[in-house]
Amino acid sequence: MTNTIRQNVSLKTYNTFGIEVSCKNFTKIVDEIQLPNLFKEGQFSGEFFVLGGGSNVLFTQDYHGLIVQMGNKGITHFIEGNFIYITAKAGEVWNDFIWYCVERDFGGVENMALIPGTVGASPIQNIGAYGTELMDVFYSCQAFDTTTGEFTTFHNNDCAFTYRDSIFKSKYKGRFIITSVTYKLHLHHKINTSYGAINMELQKRGISSPTIRDIAEVVSHIRVEKLPDPSTIGNAGSFFKNPVIPTKVFDELQKIYPDMIFYTIDENRVKLAAGWMIEACGWKGKIDGNVAIWKNQALVITNLGNASGSEIYLTSSKIMNDVYKKFGIKLEREVNIL
């Protein structure tokens, strides 16, 4: 299969912030076999960036290299013993994969319904929501090594998963292109309603014994209520990671801020709600030039229509500075900055 490389392509429709930037070269991958061809042509010897749904990236300037957009599709599964193995191509929309599972009553990913983006991006930052993380269901992925031109397989233990992180964001950042992901789900899945927001919505609906579909629908409803639709309001979902701090540090903070929202990870670590801290600094609903913080969720930065990537980045820096001044906590951006 030959590769079509287009020049000077606008990326406005390829990033959910809707930032008007362009790239020098652009190619779309509809079949993995295109990747070895690109390698032979020397396309990976220069600057390149792999783009999925564009929901986790902020372009602050024109991109002077090659944008590789993953658009390969297909989902298959088989059942072996008590487990279901589902393989999805990297270009599949994440939520389409979720509903492939829900429609077949395959449980384990329903708490991650409506997370924006594609399947291929899911292992990179170990996506997660409402008590479930990608690492809980990840079995393996196929990836293309842009330094050798070979395909390789990574299993769960190879990926060094931690909170919103993996080996693909650290040691191997920019080296591998994920082409498909295989998930391992349990046939006898136990519904996870550990988050209060899910239980509250289930009670509203009069549901006492929720199904996998119920959880997916409730989570989708909560996300729609809290988060703006990127097709009408430019955003990349949660802009910041929830910081993880030592329990001793948290104990001191809690004395000053008894209402602080937190989640205990283990006896030594606590995860803080970044959105709560941002709101406590007065940013929720605030407008900063062409940029605004979403009125229903302070973790979300939005483009009011004409913001540049640099403006959004500057606003995020102001938020980070305010949180640090007030709480002594350094927030980290979850979004890739280019």
Residue positions annotated with a catalytic role:
164, 238, 334
Separation CA 338–CA 332 (nearest Å) = 15
